[in-house]
Structure 1
């Protein structure tokens, strides 16, 4: 993550982190990729661009990034619910992934067997970086992990994330942010709201005048 990176990256997948660049989806959406330089900084912070000093992408590339973001968001949430994404969203993701470079293929030994693994390396072009994000989305959409995609339970958040907790009961995008804040708000509300049952019981215990 770049030192000047102010984005939240708690999605667990780079494609979900891109979806989360549109904040406050629960209310009035807030755009964080305002201009092409924002996209450059976000991609560099995600480890997808080899250097932050590259020329800013065009307005068209920024527009493509936003379209990809929304297509991924719709496709993932739809698939997580056991339904198929729209053909338009599938086409957009497929068109974007075409710009991704071929993954670096390597040999590895796993459980005493020779296998292959592939890794993506940072690129020098924003369009290719978007292709890497599309590739990550495709990998998520066809994996069992897609059923673990959640939306933060805070009514003032809406960030998407992969729940990798052992019991699959993670509710917050971040316990240190939304989890603790929500619990503190509920505790404060309980302190301010008297328990009507306790009040009624107290009145019954008092002798009539």
Structure 2
């Protein structure tokens, strides 16, 4: 695996990291990183959404994953622009969310008191893992954090991310990935123009 094939975790939300599995959206033919069912399993394991020993994914699960990814992307971008997502995208997200495993309540003692907590949960199959991604998308779509979703300012990127910078003015998916590259490219262009 080359560096360009590694998963990128700049989104700030699992649903945006999932959207970012389609790279180079600015190209006529973006680069797909979920090419086979094993890629989907590897990604879901990378974000701890699949339990140890969980079942692999099928071609059908991969097609569902791609459909969910694009529905999330369209819904988030519509909502950021103040529009409502399409009924079709809402249906795709809701159907995927329904497959998520229920969190398991746990009883614990804290400061001498009984309390309930929800154990982190992972799915037993790809559909359940995608359901957890869909639930994260629903939470994002309904949260004030939605107003902070951005698209990387590099003309050669288009990754989506949540801007959690103190001044809310983050432009790049990552300073090391796109920010520095863009600044170097612009500096070189200015230097050439002066010469």
Same fold? TM cut 0.5? yes
Q: Does 2:53 correspond to 1:59?
A: no
Within 5 A, what are the aligned runs for 1:25-104?
25-27=25-27, 28-51=29-52, 54-104=54-104
Structure 2 gap segments, 5+ residues each = 109-113
Cα distance, 1:49 vs. partner?
1.1
Cα distance, 1:101 vs. partner?
1.1
In 2, Cα distance between equivalents of 1:127 and 1:120: 17
Cα distance, 1:120 vs. partner?
3.8
* Residue correspondences, number: 186
Flag the 1:191–1:146 CA change in 2: closer, same or farther, 3 A: same
In 1, Cα distance between equivalents of 2:115 and 2:140: 21
What's the counterpart of residue 111 of structure 2? none
Structure 1 gap segments, 5+ residues each = 109-113, 196-209
What's the counterpart of residue 200 of structure 1? none
What's the counterpart of residue 19 of structure 2? 19
Q: Secondary structure at the match of 1:85?
A: coil
- Deviation by residue 1:109-154 (Cα, 9 ceiling, x = unmatched): xxxxx99764541222111000000000000000000111000000
Flag the 1:14–1:190 CA change in 2: closer, same or farther, 3 A: same
Q: Secondary structure at the match of 1:128?
A: helix
Q: Secondary structure at the match of 2:102?
A: coil
In 2, Cα distance between equivalents of 1:41 and 1:80: 30
Which of these two proteins has the greater Rg computed from alpha carbons?
Answer: 1
What's the counterpart of residue 121 of structure 1? 121
Cα distance, 1:184 vs. partner?
0.6
Cα distance, 1:6 vs. partner?
1.3
In 1, Cα distance between equivalents of 2:124 and 2:30: 30
Flag the 1:169–1:130 CA change in 2: closer, same or farther, 3 A: same
Q: Secondary structure at the match of 1:193?
A: helix
Q: Secondary structure at the match of 1:10?
A: coil
Q: What TM-score comes out, normalization by structure 1 length? A: 0.83
Q: Secondary structure at the match of 1:12?
A: coil
